[in-house]
Amino acid sequence: MLVYLRVFRESFSFALNALRNNKLRTFLSLLGVTVGIFSIIAVLAAVDSLDRNIRENLEGIDSNTTYVTHFSFGPTDVPKWKRENFEPMQYEDYKFISRNVPGIETAAYGWFGAQETIRYEGETVSNVDVNLSTYGIYDISNLDIELGRFYSEVESVSGSPVIVLGYKISESLFGKSNPVGKQVRMYGRKLTVIGVLKKVGASTIGDSPDEQVFIPVNFVRKFKSTKRRGQFLAVILKPKSDIDMGAFESQLKQKFRVYRGLKVDEDDDFFISRFSGFVTVIESLIGSLNVIGWIISGFSLLVGGFGIANIMFVSVKERTNLIGIQKSLGAKNRFILFQFLFEAVILAVVGGLIGLVLVWIIAKIMNGVVGEDFEFVLSFGNMFLGFALSSFIGLISGVIPAISASKLDPVEAIRTGM
C-alpha cells in the first residue's frame, strides 16, 4: 500500500512538473477535457432542470384527466383538411357529457387561448391570458386561492360578471392592496373581482396561473360566438380514481358519437386525449434532448481524450532516458505503468474539475438573472458523473502510453535517451 501511495505522490509530482514545464501544451490538453465535461454536464443539468420545472408545473394534475376537443394534441392520421372542418366543442356538448357519461368526478368546459386587456382606474395590463371556463376547472387544475374565493356553480351557469385574478395580474393592477370587491374592465364591461390565486411562479409550459384571469365562460358566451373555427374549446373531464380508463374512454366515445349523430362507417369528428399522453410526449422530448446532448458533447470529450493521449505519448518520449534509469535501478513494470497512468488521470480530473466549476458558476449567474422564472440546478449526481467521466477518460487515454512506457527495455531506453 505504501508503494502505491509513493507512486501516486511521485506521479502527482510529475504531473505538476508537466503542467509547469509545458504550460501551453498542457493547457491545450486540459482544454479539450474541460470543454467536453463542461458540455456534457451543462446539457444534463439544463435538461434535468427543465424536467424538474415541468414536473413541478404539472404536479397536482391527475394524469387521467381527459380532454374532448376538435383538435389533436399530438400526431394524428386524420388529414388536416378534415380536422379543420371539425366543429368546436360547444357548451351543450359539455352538458351532455357531464350528465350522460358515468365515472366522471369533475367536468369543465373551457375556452382557451384568448388574450385581452384588463383595466382598473389608471392601471392597464395588456395581453392577459384569459381562461374562460366553468367552475369545475378549479378542481381539475388544482388551483389555490390566496384572497376571496373562486366563482360558484351558480355564477358559472348564469354567467355572472365576476373574475378571479392571477397573483401577478392582481399585483400589477392593485399593488399590495386587497382587490376583492373592486371592479375591473374587460370586453368593454365591468367585472367584479371575487378572488386572487396564490402565487405559483413561472411555468415552463404555457403561461403561469399568476399571469391568467379566470372568468365564467357563460358570461362571454352572451356576446361572443363559440362557433368560429380556430378557437380552442374543450370539454375537460377528471374521472374517478378507481375507474378503468379504457372502458371509460370507450363509453365516452360511443355516447358522444351517438350524440353527434355519427354513423357506424363515419370517422370521429372529435379527439379524446388523456393528460398522461401529453406527459409521455414531454418525457420523450426530454429523453431526445439528453441523447442529442450526449452525442454533441461526446465529440468534445473524445477530442479531449485524444489530447491527453497525445501529451502522454510525448511525455513518454521525453522521459525515455529516465524510464531506462528507473528500470536499471530495479523499478518494476507496474511502477512505471502506474506512474504514467496516474499522470493521465490527474490531467483529466483537473480538466474535468475546471469544467464542473464553470458549469457551477454559469448556474449561479443564470439563477441570479432569471430569478424565480427558472431554477437551474446542478445536482450532486451530475457533478459525480462529471468527475467519474473525466477520470475514465484519463484512464482510457493514458493506458496505451503507460503500457508502452512500462514495456521499454532499460538498455534501449537509456541508449535512446542519450
pLDDT band at 159 (very low <50, low <70, confident <90, very high): very high
284-330: pLDDT as tens digits: 777 777 777 777 767 777 777 777 777 777 767 666 666 666 666 66
Q: What region does 112 belong to: left with phi over 0, alpha with psi -120 to 50, or beta?
A: beta
pLDDT at 1: 60
Residue 332, helix vs strand vs coil = coil
Q: How many CB atoms lie within 10 A of CB 414?
A: 18
The stretch 168-174 carries a mean pLDDT of: 91
Q: Grid coordinates 357563460 are at which residue?
A: 218
Mean pLDDT comparison of 30-39, 153-162, 352-361, highest-scoring range: 153-162
- CA separation for the pair 132, 71 (Å, rounded): 18
Give the pLDDT score at 109.
Answer: 93
Quickly state the pLDDT bin for 56 (edges 50, 70, 90).
low
pTM: 0.66
pLDDT one-digit tens code per residue, 185-221: 998 899 999 999 988 776 655 567 888 999 999 999 9
Number of other CB atoms surrounding residue 100 within 10 Å: 14
Say whether pLDDT at 357 is over 80. Answer: yes
pLDDT, residue 413, reads 57
Q: Angle 126-130-134 (CA atoms, 0-180°, nearest 5)?
A: 160
